[in-house]
Structure 1
Amino acid sequence: MKNKIIFFKNIGLIDWIKIVNEMNYFTEKRNSFTFDEIWFVEHYPIFTQGLLKQNYSIISKNNFINDIPIVTANRGGQITYHGPGQQILYFLIDLKRRKINIRQLIDIIHILIIDTLKYFSIKSNIKKNAPGVYVNNKKICSLGLRIKKGCTLHGLSLNVDMDLTPFDYIYPCGDIYMKMTQIKEFNFFLTLKDIRIILIKKLAQLLNVKIIKK
């Protein structure tokens, strides 16, 4: 039963620190009877550095860049930016119970984004040894996950309709040549709600579950 249902929460715009605290609490308290959940959120402007952070990943050495805070996250990957208009999905998934490993989940996430973009006639691809999804050699979706107690935390961020300027203040994912893009540049009229509907539909198919709003 627990493998047939995943709850999703459309949380909306929320502080990054608040949602991370809730995510860690959820993972600490969960057990074999806890249903998996996927949280859809947006964040107020913030830079987050993953556990693979490197000194050259950021241009500024302060705790702020142009008044945007820089925080360290307990996820994989390096530095990225979150802001309004970016659809973030946090995957609170029990991998062991679903009998999949982290590599398989990453593959599922890649397919999820590629198929969603394809639905809206946007052709995208992945790159070897560079997690994420790209359009015209620019990154449109970033990944950063962590496993704790056999369960995942964190997830993906898909650029939909946001101010991309803060990405110019950093080296996204630690790559000085990385350029970012977003769905708005290919379809001006799509909204986060439009994208969310298709993401949920595709997730249900890829994970072979019924996704229920909580």
Structure 2
Amino acid sequence: MKKIYIRNLGRTHYNIISSAMHEFTDSRSLYTIDELWFTEHYSIFTQGVLEKNKNILKEIKNIPIETCDRGGKITYHGPGQQLVYILINLKLIRIHIKKFLFYIEQSVINTLKFFSIKSYRIPKSPGIYINKKKFCSVGFRIKNNCSLYGISYNINTNLIPYNYIYPCGNKLIKMINLIEIIPGITMKIFRKKFIQMFVKIFKYKKIYKSSYNILNKIGLN
């Protein structure tokens, strides 16, 4: 059974994790074990390579905007939102990008189903939706057959910054926090079940690792 390292990095600055993620991917060998990094970011907007600033509705003050090399358009990250950086060598696990994305979305759907929540996909609008609102956003880059970036889902975050943008470039999208549906849900509770669903569908053997090693290794902690 394939191994995957699970790291809970706590609350971090986006730029630190972005640098660590690129360093990790650029230094991978054929024997590097895949990893999942869980984190919350301090408030930031990130926009992908296709964004042309057309989806910013108001002047944004006090929250930085960072352009990154993932696909997709603009979105917001902040405390109370779970980021999952999915760092996988697709070639080694013999999976095509379309199936890879399907499996990731299905892991979220299966987790929500465990909590008796019906969720769904929308064609040509990546992510997972609940009650006509977006719960989980998806954005990736594939480099040398390896995935960078991942998904984000809102547990109990401030949704007001989304009013400054068209989330993911779609003016019809409204966001939702899971706590609106499950009072008392925590990031830890949902994360634990998501990991179980993820490793099951991808057929991994999970191994928990300290966050200290990876950030210290490249001098970022």
Common fold: TM-score over 0.5: yes
Alignment of 1:15-94 (within 5 A): 15-60=13-58, 65-94=60-89
Q: Which secondary structure state, in structure 2, belongs to the residue aligned with residue 110 of structure 1?
A: helix
Alpha-carbon contact 1:48-1:80 (below 8 Å) kept: yes
- Equivalent residue, structure 1, for 2:168: 173
Counterpart of 2:21, as a letter, is M
**Are 1:123 and 2:123 an aligned pair?**
no
Structure-1 separation of matches of 2:81 and 2:183: 14
- Equivalent residue, structure 2, for 1:97: 92
- Percent identity between the aligned chains? 45
- Equivalent residue, structure 1, for 2:7: 9
Structure-1 separation of matches of 2:204 and 2:31: 16
- Equivalent residue, structure 2, for 1:143: 138
TM-score, scaled relative to structure 1: 0.95
**Are 1:206 and 2:204 an aligned pair?**
no
Structure-1 separation of matches of 2:150 and 2:99: 14
Alpha-carbon contact 1:54-1:174 (below 8 Å) kept: no
RMSD between aligned residues: 1.0
Counterpart of 1:199, as a letter, is F
Counterpart of 1:197, as a letter, is K
- Equivalent residue, structure 1, for 2:219: none
Structure-2 separation of matches of 1:181 and 1:52: 24
- Which consecutive segments of 4 or more residues in structure 1 shift more than 3 A? none
Structure-2 separation of matches of 1:207 and 1:29: 23
Structure-2 separation of matches of 1:12 and 1:73: 21
Structure-1 separation of matches of 2:25 and 2:200: 25
Counterpart of 2:105, as a letter, is H
Which stretches in structure 2 are left out of the alignment for 5+ residues?
A: 210-221
| Greater CA drift, 15-24 or 120-129 | 120-129
Q: Aligned pairs, how many?
A: 209
Structure-1 separation of matches of 2:133 and 2:54: 20
Deviation at 1:52, TM superposition (A): 1.6
- Give a deviation string over 1:135-175, Cα, whole Å, max 9, x none: 11110000000011110000000111111110111110111
- Give a deviation string over 1:25-81, Cα, whole Å, max 9, x none: 0001011010000100100000000112133211246xxx13100010110110000
Structure-1 separation of matches of 2:52 and 2:138: 17
TM-score, scaled relative to structure 2: 0.92
Structure-1 separation of matches of 2:191 and 2:131: 23
Counterpart of 1:97, as a letter, is L
